[in-house]
Chains A and B, each alone.
Chain A
Amino acid sequence: MLALAELDLKPQETVIVSGIGQAAKTPHYIRTNVFNGLHGRALPAAMAIKAANPELTVIAESGDGCMYGEGGNHLMHTMLRNPDISVFVHNNMVYGLTKGQASPTSQRGFETLVQTADRQGVTSEPFNPLALGVAMNASFVARAFIGDTEQTKEIMKKAIQHKGFSLVDIFQPCVTYNKINTFRWFKNNTYYLDGAYDSTDRLAAFEKAIEHDKYPLGVLYRGLPRATFEENSGIYDVDKRPLFQRALDKKKLKELIQTKVSGL
């Protein structure tokens, strides 16, 4: 909310899109336009909203289950399209709303009522959103820790101001269902990238993305500036107006229909 205020975004020109989960309820606490859609499906909607009206600032916000689990395929394909939207993923490494099952980002050995202790808890490799982002050449990839409000806000602001797709993975404790990855755990297991780090170096970014002794925080990767999905659509080249301000050119349509007289 602070990030939005400091960027002077008008609530009327901002849309927060979310899915389902604890984090997905966030937009109900912020005074903006809201599209609270389906579990896992925030990104297709967010991309389309931006494409239908590029004048809007579009932020998609949800949890790790929504964005990385149910919506994993959409995450990958939205990155590839590069719409000018920001994606904030509250990553607490556990499913909260369904009461404590593993999430795609849960660490190996994490025990739940489903991923039971007698079966070694979680046995899958944890999903790595940052490595995916760098691998897919997402145009902005970052990580924040919610315990540090000031830095998190700054990273979010950078993401919103970035032209193109931006992903911010936000480490966040779940006080109810995750007794392993606590506030203290996150604090002890993260560090900030320093000023010498070059976020445009993709290979270095990939190295950082797969570090797991301690997790880096900050902007990991910025791709070279490139056209957004909306720009590439070709429909805003000449006419910059959003779709709702346009009208059908009936004369043109009549001409198109007329071409169907020749059977070619």
Chain B
Amino acid sequence: MKYSIAISGAAGQGIDTVADFLAAILKESGLHVFVWREFMSRIRGGINSAQLRVTDDRTGAYTFRTNIAVVLDEGASEHLNRHSRISEDTIIVGEEKNIGAIDHDSRYVIAVPFSEIAKEVGGTIYLNSIAAGLVAAYFDVKESTVQAYLSERFGSKGEEIVKKNIDAYTRGFQIGQRISDILGPMRIKPNPGVRSQLLLSGSESVALGALAGGCNFISSYPMSPSTGVLTFLAQHARDFGVLVDQAEDEIAGMNKGLGAWFAGGRAIVTTSGGGFALMTEGLSLAGMLESPMVILLGQRPGPATGLPTRTAQEDLKHVLGASHGEFPRVIYTPGTYEEAFFLTQKAFNMAAHYQVPVFVLTDQFLLDSLGTLPMLKLADTKIEQHVVKTKSDYRRYLLTETGISPRGIPGYGEGLVVVDSDEHDESGHITEDLHLRTKMVDKRLRKKAALLQENTVPPTLVGAKEPSILVIAWGSNYHVVKEAISELGQDSIAMLHFCQVYPLHEASLEYLRSAKRVAIVENNATAQFAGLIQRETGFGIDRNSMLLKYNGLPFAVEEVMDFLRGIAKEEMIMN
């Protein structure tokens, strides 16, 4: 069973506060929750929304279907309606003035005098707690759960504030009991095990993964949607010994990261497509210096400033082809919070081991969303330094069979560490010996071969082993495709999800050949991953097997279901 609650209103009205509040108390009540947000690039005004999904099993996808829509501003219900999120079953809850004049299809409306109640309680700031109470009522949240949450959240502001919030919540709760008259009784059996699970956002998953990978240096210029990772690391910088620098620009950020790795640090830079464009010169330096580097790129729609707060998968080609010259790189594309954590952790070890740049390529949808997940097991993680103590005859670019030269750092051992952005000899000094040049290029590229052989993450097959229809997804589309397939209830459809898109695992082609029909789902207009697959494996996916979306929103489950239904019909699997 899955419920969906939309909370919509103007920026600054506290939509996020309501969604986070509900997510916390519903999870504490033993229910799986998932929250994602869509918002405009402005601090006040406009119309934003958050979707809270409450489920018996874990999900991480957006659905059009809305059971309860809480509209906090005029224009909110129209906004949801325009995006197909109001159906005739949707219960719309809001002030008379916000729901009355709007043209929508819903038959169910609960008018709530939010402002009046808030004023009675103590002011408009209590509106959020009223809204939360309203929704929580349907899910039968215990009073003690709410009291504990509000005490912890507002305790530092004084007992009076806690009391008033509880009051507001209770007022909302009383009205909310009317919801079950329309929606029927809540049909999820709470699972106490969920209470001890985590409630994490994508940004937090990446940042925690960085810490688990031994990250101790970040130099970034703030840019949506990557800023959450920078902020999280800054807030825990002293505790974990992370040197945080808000760089003057992304060019500096990348070069600082490389300086840190050179001196023995473990650095990450965080950015989005536009910022990464400025980093490409430094990325090329990483290629030449054979420096480790970890880059978190949160995608948003471009070109240029594009839609700063929206989501996209448009920068795969950007990341893949960025920089002058030829050198290997690794690109991870996590589909879940666990993958965001473990792949970011792994990125540091891979970067250190192979001395290559490693990308964690994700997007606004994953970074800005949050949901329940099982406890992350640190025992499964290990920090690999891959640093050697140098001897006096140390040569940084010693030619080796794997292409990997032992990495020394200054001040550790008797040797000197010389790195140069010019072509260089084994000792790191500038050279124009063109025979040596060929050897150095081959050495750098051999690392890709080593990577492929030893350490590429294979794609995950979700569903039938030998499916008729195989749907390719990468990055944050994991949950939406999985849920769409499961909703269709067709065991002849499976998903092949790639959490590493480069280098592609050798088994990829075999999977692609195993299905009768291969389809792909991507958040871009030009099917960038399909192009990469074709380039790397020769396997082509035809145009009418592609579902592409590029309006800045993630896929809704219904959209993927419609697409798969169409393909299944063509393949005579479904009527």
* With A44-B259, A263-B23, A263-B24 as contacts: A244 and B285 at CB distance below 8 Å: no
In the docked arrangement, what's the CA distance between A48 and B414, Å? 22
State how many angstroms separate the Cβ of B448 from the closest Cβ of chain A. Answer: 23
* With A44-B256, A44-B259, A252-B240 as contacts: A52 and B217 at CB distance below 8 Å: yes
State how many angstroms separate the Cβ of A111 from the closest Cβ of chain B. Answer: 31
**Contact assessment for A13 and B411 in the assembled complex, using a CB-CB cutoff below 8 Å:** yes
**Contact assessment for B419 and A36 in the assembled complex, using a CB-CB cutoff below 8 Å:** yes
> Which of A27-35, A114-122, A132-140, A155-163 makes up part of the contact surface?
A27-35
Interface centre among A27, A46, A49 (most CB of B within 10 A): A49
**CB-nearest residue of chain B to A81:** B245
Does A257 reach chain B (CB closer than 8 Å)?
yes
Does B13 reach chain A (CB closer than 8 Å)?
no
> Which of A171-179, A215-223, A233-241 makes up part of the contact surface?
A233-241
- Name the contact of A25 in the complex, choosing from B239, B256, B266, B430 (C-beta under 8 A): B430
**Contact assessment for A34 and B376 in the assembled complex, using a CB-CB cutoff below 8 Å:** no
In the docked arrangement, what's the CA distance between A53 and B242, Å? 13
**Contact assessment for A74 and B259 in the assembled complex, using a CB-CB cutoff below 8 Å:** no
**Contact assessment for B259 and A35 in the assembled complex, using a CB-CB cutoff below 8 Å:** yes
**CB-nearest residue of chain A to B409:** A244
B residues 377-423 with Cβ under 8 Å of A? 378, 383, 385, 387, 409-422
**Contact assessment for A263 and B199 in the assembled complex, using a CB-CB cutoff below 8 Å:** yes
Does A188 reach chain B (CB closer than 8 Å)?
no
In the docked arrangement, what's the CA distance between A248 and B429, Å? 34
**Contact assessment for A53 and B421 in the assembled complex, using a CB-CB cutoff below 8 Å:** no
Q: What chain A residues lie within 8 Å of B419 (beta carbons)?
A: 34-36
Cβ proximity bits A241-264 to B, threshold 8 Å, 1 near / 0 not: 011111111101110110011111
In the docked arrangement, what's the CA distance between A49 and B383, Å? 21
**Contact assessment for A33 and B416 in the assembled complex, using a CB-CB cutoff below 8 Å:** yes
In the docked arrangement, what's the CA distance between A256 and B235, Å? 12
Does B317 reach chain A (CB closer than 8 Å)?
no
- Name the contact of B420 in the complex, choosing from A34, A47, A239 (C-beta under 8 A): A34
State how many angstroms separate the Cβ of B253 from the closest Cβ of chain A. Answer: 8
**CB-nearest residue of chain A to B261:** A52
Q: What chain B residues lie within 8 Å of A205 (beta carbons)?
A: none
Cβ proximity bits B21-34 to A, threshold 8 Å, 1 near / 0 not: 00111011000000
In the docked arrangement, what's the CA distance between A73 and B255, Å? 13
- Name the contact of B259 in the complex, choosing from A49, A242, A246, A248 (C-beta under 8 A): A49
**CB-nearest residue of chain A to B379:** A250
State how many angstroms separate the Cβ of A264 from the closest Cβ of chain B. Answer: 6
Q: What chain A residues lie within 8 Å of B262 (beta carbons)?
A: 35, 45, 48-49, 52
State how many angstroms separate the Cβ of B252 from the closest Cβ of chain A. Answer: 4
Does B200 reach chain A (CB closer than 8 Å)?
yes
Does B363 reach chain A (CB closer than 8 Å)?
no
**Contact assessment for B236 and A256 in the assembled complex, using a CB-CB cutoff below 8 Å:** yes
Q: What chain B residues lie within 8 Å of A28 (beta carbons)?
A: 420, 429-430
**Contact assessment for A261 and B252 in the assembled complex, using a CB-CB cutoff below 8 Å:** no
* With A38-B255, A263-B199 as contacts: A253 and B263 at CB distance below 8 Å: no
- Name the contact of B411 in the complex, choosing from A53, A73, A233, A247 (C-beta under 8 A): A53
Does A207 reach chain B (CB closer than 8 Å)?
no
* With A45-B258, A48-B219 as contacts: A235 and B212 at CB distance below 8 Å: no
Q: What chain A residues lie within 8 Å of B415 (beta carbons)?
A: 12
Does B260 reach chain A (CB closer than 8 Å)?
yes
Q: What chain A residues lie within 8 Å of B152 (beta carbons)?
A: 262, 264
Does A87 reach chain B (CB closer than 8 Å)?
no
User: What are 12 A-B contacts with C-beta separation under 8 Å?
Assistant: A12-B413, A15-B410, A27-B418, A34-B420, A35-B259, A35-B262, A37-B258, A48-B258, A49-B410, A242-B264, A244-B412, A256-B236
Leading 10 A-B pairs by shortest Cβ distance: A244-B264, A263-B24, A48-B259, A45-B259, A52-B265, A52-B263, A77-B248, A33-B410, A44-B255, A48-B256
